[in-house]
Amino acid sequence: SQQGEEDPQALSIQEGENATMNCSYKTSINNLQWYRQNSGRGLVHLILIRSNEREKHSGRLRVTLDTSKKSSSLLITASRAADTASYFCATDAYLDTGRRALTFGSGTRLQVQP
Amino acid sequence: DAGVIQSPRHEVTEMGQEVTLRCKPISGHDYLFWYRQTMMRGLELLIYFNNNVPIDDSGMPEDRFSAKMPNASFSTLKIQPSEPRDSAVYFCASSPPGTGAPDTQYFGPGTRLTVL
């Protein structure tokens, strides 16, 4: 089963509003990352937060991490039509094989209406 | 920096045919990953390499799938024989040297494979 699960699956907002996406995971992690994917394109790394960090900012992005609840949130402030994309959380953790790798969630599809 | 390069971008083939997907990672990166993305299963890690050596191939679905990395600048993912359920977008990603484990990953544009 997937390590990270995003909520909601889809989100539609107006330009200028804030968008919040949540991610829950199951096992201990080394770090958690958020990626964006525009339709028909590859994933683009947005931000990484380590397990000993609680909050991180990058431009209009704010990420929080609560390791006690095994959850993270991505906030995009003052959204723009260009933010329309799918957003994925990815957890850096050890696989059942004992190897360390990223496991991606199912994604949140964000639609920002101009 | 050209980024991760994948070829072909689109591939349409018939069931039973051999398919080879190619990837050139970002120069200087020592991790290379192959993923598969479908609507039903999302983004799945198939295999990853470190310094050209396969580290974990537990995600490779069947023996029909094989991957190689003969040198630091080239990797292939081969499906032989292909089946309609292999239809998906296949992504290659690379990651720079860091803490001894994969960190931020840089994705290629993907290869959209359709098996008829």
Cβ distance of A41 and B42 shorter than 8 Å: no
Q: Report the distance separating Cα A61 and Cα B64, nearest Å.
A: 42
Measured between beta carbons, the chain A residues lying within 8 angstroms of B54 are none
State the pLDDT at residue A94.
Answer: 87
pLDDT tens track for B10-62: 999 999 999 999 999 999 999 999 999 999 899 999 999 999 999 999 999 88
Mean pLDDT of A93-105: 87
At position B82, the amino acid (one-letter code) is S
Q: Determine the residue of chain A that is closest to B32 in CA distance.
A: A101
Joined together, the tokens standing for residue B39 give 């609507």
Distance CA B85, CA B61 (A): 11
What is the pLDDT, as a whole number, of residue B55? 92
Identify the band that residue A31 occupies on the pLDDT scale cut at 50, 70 and 90: very high
Cβ contacts of residue A62 below 8 Å, gap of 6+?
Answer: A55, A56, A74, A75, A77
Is A1's pLDDT higher than 80?
no
**HEC readout, chain B:** CCCCEEECCEEEECCCCCEEEEEECCCCCCEEEEEEEECCCEEEEEEEEECCEEEECCCCCCCCEEEEEEECCEEEEEECCCCHHHCEEEEEEEECCCCCCCCCCEECCCEEEEEC
Residues of B in contact with A102 (CB under 8 A): 33, 45, 102, 105
Between A1 and B29, name the one with better pLDDT.
Answer: B29
CB atoms within 10 A of CB A57: 11
Of A33, A41, A101, which is closest to B48 when you measure between CB atoms?
A: A101
Q: Does A3 or A67 have the greater pLDDT score?
A: A67
> What confidence tens digit (pLDDT) does each residue in B105-115 have?
999 999 999 99
